[in-house]
Structure 1
Amino acid sequence: METATPAQHRTPRPRADALRNRERIVAAGREMFVEFGADAPLDEIARRAGVGNATLYRNFPDRHSLQREVVCSVMDRVSEQIELMLAETGDAFETLSRFVHMSAEERIGALCPMLSEAFDQSHPELVASRERVEALVEELMERARAAGQLRTDVAVGDLMVAVSQLTRPLPGIACLNIDRFVHRHLQLFLDGLRAPARSELPGTAATMEDLRQA
């Protein structure tokens, strides 16, 4: 009897064109969810990606699986950028500011409407991506706090709420015209984070756990 070789047990690698199709679908999904919200038509996402509906559903059997992939891909890309920032030396608050402005470019606020009650927020891939980005943002804030540049009465939850709200475009192409104001308003917010604090904040600093329980 022939013994199977390790190569015969190996899962076949996806073809390059199949990987490109998947990447195009995720990119198109991100664009459509930003422009039209979580209920953007999947048929239109397939059309924008340049693939057939069958290809979309072969990769993502339902809306939630595509939404999860879009959310994870954005969070993973943000995490990679933060890791590069943390590897640099320089002004800690300036690094934190770069993250905030980069978040606007990634449109992370547009992801929030997809995290509805029907969305499986405990999916292992989503949890891993979320915990990674949260830990890295906390590290960015801790560096600025240790340098005496970040006010001490804010936590990572405060930052993420503000960034999510300020980078969330309203659904519809016409609303994208307000993008030119986003970085201006983010800078106003960042100035309010600088130490020494010019005011006393009401309530207590918000953690990410506080946000999940809200």
Structure 2
Amino acid sequence: MDSEQPTTARGSAPLRADARRNRDRIIAAAAQAFAVRGPDLPVEEIARAAGVGIGTVYRRFPDRDALIRAVAQETVRSAMAHARAAVIEEPTAWAALERFLRQSHEVRLAVRLVIDSPGARAAMEDDPEIYELRRVMLDVLDRIVHAAQAEGSLRADVGTGDVAAAFLLLVRPLIVPEADTAASALERCLGVLLDGLRASAATSLPGEALARTALEH
């Protein structure tokens, strides 16, 4: 039997080290499984992939929605950390933007959760922590976008909402037989998107720039 304490409520004592390790393994296994097979696979398979008993999963996450929320929180948190690291480590705002768009595997998973399962979408939309994490991540992207425009590398007639919306449209799962083909197609489309975002792009865009607030709800 797995040795760990019962689930702790927010604001109570932190999990013991072994309980925390089990929780992290479950979330990592669930994230991997959701990315490959969607959020509706049996919890028993997630437990087996994490190397824990089914009872351990349910002690940490009383139902599937709780597990989905935890995976979503971790994926958005990780994407936000990547965005902040790009701002600090890259020499230009354009390089930070390109790095964020190319490396946001976590955002792709969150999008798949929303698309593949109405239950997952409801679980995520009702969670205030996920909403706050999304808001903060949009803040980071907003700063990158404005910095790239200020340095003259990003076209001036787009808004943060345009960049985010285009990326989200691209990361929807592509239904093709081979996973490698889907991954290659996504990378090529990201390249096309980045070229279209460059300040040197010649074609003017229709309508008004989409602000980040257009994606908040």
How far apart are the structure 1 equivalents of 2:166 and 2:145? 14
User: 2:93–2:151: 8 Å Cα contact kept in structure 1?
Assistant: yes
Work out which of the residue numbers 176, 179, 188 in structure 2 matches 1:176: 179
Deviations 1:129-173 (A, max 9, x none): 11111100111111101111111222222222222232333479x
Deviations 1:18-59 (A, max 9, x none): 111111111111111111123232221111111111111111
Deviations 1:72-107 (A, max 9, x none): 11111121122222224622212210111111xx24
Q: Name the residue aligned to 2:200.
A: 196
How far apart are the structure 2 equivalents of 1:203 and 1:98? 28
Pick closer, same or farther for the CA change 1:210–1:12 going to 2, 3 Å: closer
- TM-score of the two chains, using structure 1 as the length reference: 0.83
Q: How does 1:67-106 map to 2 (within 5 A)?
A: 67-88=68-89, 90-103=91-104, 106=105
How far did 1:184 drift? 2.4
How far apart are the structure 2 equivalents of 1:46 and 1:88? 37
Q: Name the residue aligned to 1:159.
A: 163
Deviations 1:156-212 (A, max 9, x none): 22222222232333479x542221332222111101000133112223333344345
How far apart are the structure 2 equivalents of 1:170 and 1:35? 12
Pick closer, same or farther for the CA change 1:113–1:119 going to 2, 3 Å: farther
Q: Name the residue aligned to 2:35.
A: 34
- Structure number, greater radius of gyration: 1
User: 1:109–1:163: 8 Å Cα contact kept in structure 2?
Assistant: no
How far apart are the structure 1 equivalents of 2:187 and 2:124? 32
Pick closer, same or farther for the CA change 1:33–1:210 going to 2, 3 Å: same
Secondary structure at the aligned position of 1:128 is classed as: helix
Q: Name the residue aligned to 2:4.
A: none
User: 1:96–1:140: 8 Å Cα contact kept in structure 2?
Assistant: yes
Percent identity of the aligned residues?
35
How far did 1:11 drift? 4.5
| Count of residue pairs the alignment pairs up | 201
How far apart are the structure 1 equivalents of 2:102 and 2:84? 16
Structure 2 unaligned spans of 5+: 1-10
User: 2:79–2:106: 8 Å Cα contact kept in structure 1?
Assistant: no
Pick closer, same or farther for the CA change 1:144–1:202 going to 2, 3 Å: same
1:176 aligned partner, one-letter code: A
How far apart are the structure 1 equivalents of 2:131 and 2:29? 23
User: 1:32–1:45: 8 Å Cα contact kept in structure 2?
Assistant: yes
How far apart are the structure 2 equivalents of 1:158 and 1:175? 30
The answer to whether the aligner puts 1:45 opposite 2:46 as a matched pair is yes
- Please tell me the root mean square deviation across aligned C-alpha atoms, in Å: 2.3
- TM-score of the two chains, using structure 2 as the length reference: 0.82
How far did 1:68 drift? 1.3
How far apart are the structure 2 equivalents of 1:181 and 1:92? 25
